[in-house]
């Protein structure tokens, strides 16, 4: 049984989710201790518990320690089965992170499309929101041969939650390697600014602030202003359509947080990526490295900033997969990710 220390690296829920996915893919059991040890509320919170139960359901697994606030988990996988699934987090916990746990085992270890309904949060801080998943994450998956269809049926913002996302995961016979060493010139930004169950001026202020920041950097800007039902909440999404895939950066509102600060958070990330000159954004780098560990061909891509998330995910992968993965670059600086071809 593989032994994993959940306090390693960034010490968050990513260690859990990647371990669950890798266990189902390789059929190796694991014991995870010190779950989310570096977080303000350590142990399994609702979205992490749902990730465990979702993995156990699709992978007919035997589990010990699957309880709220549990800091230790034993997971023994069984055969991965496709079909139709519904996973309700019960809070505003991130639906996207539950999807991240199960999509790759369903794609690589089943023979027919799997349909998943997820309820909970769709636009969460510190996790990929629905529009990033649908735009950037799916874009990279398609480049390496994976197809996941997504549709948003209802938004879910913190703290109310209640959002609903439908996903269809198609079987994949072979993952392709990824080679990206450069990006086209970035000239314009598209996207939207939305207020959800809040006054229209919030979306207007977000759009105005972000547009001002981006135009000062010499970029053309075209942002839609929208009002959605549900909420309350607000979101701004800034996308570089010329990148290797459309690359999105998101800012999310919160109680007492000015609209201008929401816009600045998205603009800060977008401009850091723009200034780096590198093709792959830091969020996508740590998300794509796991499926690339199962590609036969070698991969090499440049990332705008190496993150602790990326380093931690690579460390987890090495527990399950004998693959040479190297990262050149310091945390917070541009770098290169190299994954050697599979040994015969």
User: For the segment 12-55, what is each residue's pLDDT rounded down to a tens digit?
Assistant: 889 999 999 999 999 999 999 999 988 888 999 999 999 999 99
Domain check: are 148 and 214 in the same one? Answer: no
Would residue 198 count as lying in a domain? yes
Whether 320 is in a domain gets the answer no
Average pLDDT, integer, range 247-254 = 97
85 lies in the same domain as 201:
no
Q: Is residue 342 part of a domain?
A: no
Partners of 248 in beta bridges: 239
pLDDT of residue 126: 86
Residues 23 and 167 in one domain: yes
Examine the domain organization and report whether 164 and 22 are in the same domain. yes
Residue 24 forms part of a structural domain? yes
Domain containing 60: what range?
Answer: 2-179
**Nearest to 101, CA basis, from 75, 123, 125:** 75
What CATH number has the domain bearing residue 230? 3.30.360.20
Distances (CA, A) of 82 to 89, 102, 105, 166, 308: 20, 11, 9, 15, 33
Task: Give the CA angle between residues 247, 39, 293 to the nearest 5°.
Answer: 45
Do 266 and 213 share a structural domain?
yes
Instruction: Say whether pLDDT at 182 is over 90.
Output: yes
pLDDT for 229: 84
Alpha-carbon radius of gyration of the chain? 19
Q: Out of 48, 100, 131, 309, which one is annotated catalytic?
A: 309
Residues 39 and 175 in one domain: yes
Mean pLDDT of all residues in 213-219: 98
Q: Which pLDDT does position 344 carry in this prediction?
A: 66
State mean pLDDT over 296-320: 96
Last residue of a domain, one of 155, 179, 203: 179
Average pLDDT of span 270-280: 97
- Which residues are bridge partners to 335 per DSSP? 303
Residue 297 lies in a domain: no
SS3 call for 194: strand
- Does residue 210 sit in the same domain as residue 172? no
Q: Give the separation between CA 21 and CA 103, rounded to whole angstroms.
A: 8
Does any domain span residue 7? Answer: yes
The answer to whether residues 98 and 243 belong to one domain is no
pLDDT confidence of residue 259:
97
In a domain, 288, yes or no: no
Q: Do residues 100 and 213 share a domain?
A: no
Picking from 125, 144, 179, the residue at the C-terminal end of a domain is 179
* 160 in a structural domain: yes
CA distance to 132, 183, 245, 333, 337, per residue, from 180 (Å): 20, 8, 11, 17, 10
73 and 148 assigned to the same domain: yes
Does the annotation count 100 as an active-site position?
no
Answer yes or no: is pLDDT of 343 > 90. no
Total count of domains within the chain: 2
What CATH number corresponds to the domain at position 15?
A: 3.65.10.20
| pTM for this entry | 0.95
Q: Which of 220, 255, 276 is the last residue of a domain?
A: 276
- Do residues 174 and 133 share a domain? yes
Do 67 and 150 sit in the same domain of this protein? yes
Average pLDDT of the residues of the chain: 95
Least confident stretch, 36-45, 103-112, 145-154, 199-208:
36-45
């Amino acid at each position: 049984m593989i032994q994993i220390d959940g306090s390693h690296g960034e010490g968050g829920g990513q260690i859990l989710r990647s371990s669950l996915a890798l266990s189902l893919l390789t059929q190796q059991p694991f014991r995870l201790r010190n779950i989310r040890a570096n977080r303000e509320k350590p142990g399994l919170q609702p979205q992490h518990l749902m990730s465990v139960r979702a993995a156990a359901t699709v992978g007919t697994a035997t589990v010990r320690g699957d309880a709220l606030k549990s800091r230790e988990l034993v997971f023994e996988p069984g055969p991965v089965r496709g079909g139709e699934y519904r996973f309700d987090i019960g809070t505003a916990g991130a639906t996207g992170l539950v999807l991240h746990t199960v999509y790759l085992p369903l794609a690589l270890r089943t023979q027919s499309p799997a349909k998943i309904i997820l309820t909970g949060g769709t636009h969460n801080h510190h996790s990929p929101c629905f529009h990033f998943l649908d735009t950037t994450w799916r874009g990279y998956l398609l480049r390496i041969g994976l197809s996941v269809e997504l549709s948003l049926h209802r938004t879910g913002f913190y703290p109310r939650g209640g959002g609903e996302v439908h996903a269809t995961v198609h079987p994949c016979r072979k993952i392709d390697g990824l080679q990206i060493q450069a990006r086209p010139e970035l000239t314009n930004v598209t996207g939207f600014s939305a207020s959800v169950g809040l006054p229209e001026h919030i979306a207007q202020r977000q759009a105005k602030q972000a547009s001002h920041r981006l135009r000062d950097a010499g970029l053309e800007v075209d942002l839609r202003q929208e009002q959605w039902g549900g909420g309350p909440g607000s979101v701004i999404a800034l996308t570089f359509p010329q990148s290797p895939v459309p690359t999105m950066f998101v800012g999310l509102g919160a109680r007492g947080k000015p609209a201008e600060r929401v816009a600045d958070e998205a603009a800060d990330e977008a401009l850091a990526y723009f200034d780096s000159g590198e093709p792959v954004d830091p969020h996508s780098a740590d998300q794509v490295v796991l499926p690339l560990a199962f590609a036969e061909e070698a991969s090499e891509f440049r990332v705008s900033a190496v993150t602790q998330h990326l380093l931690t995910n690579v460390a987890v992968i090495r527990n399950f997969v004998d693959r040479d993965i190297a990262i050149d670059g310091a945390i917070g600086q541009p770098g290169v990710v190299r994954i050697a071809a599979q040994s015969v």
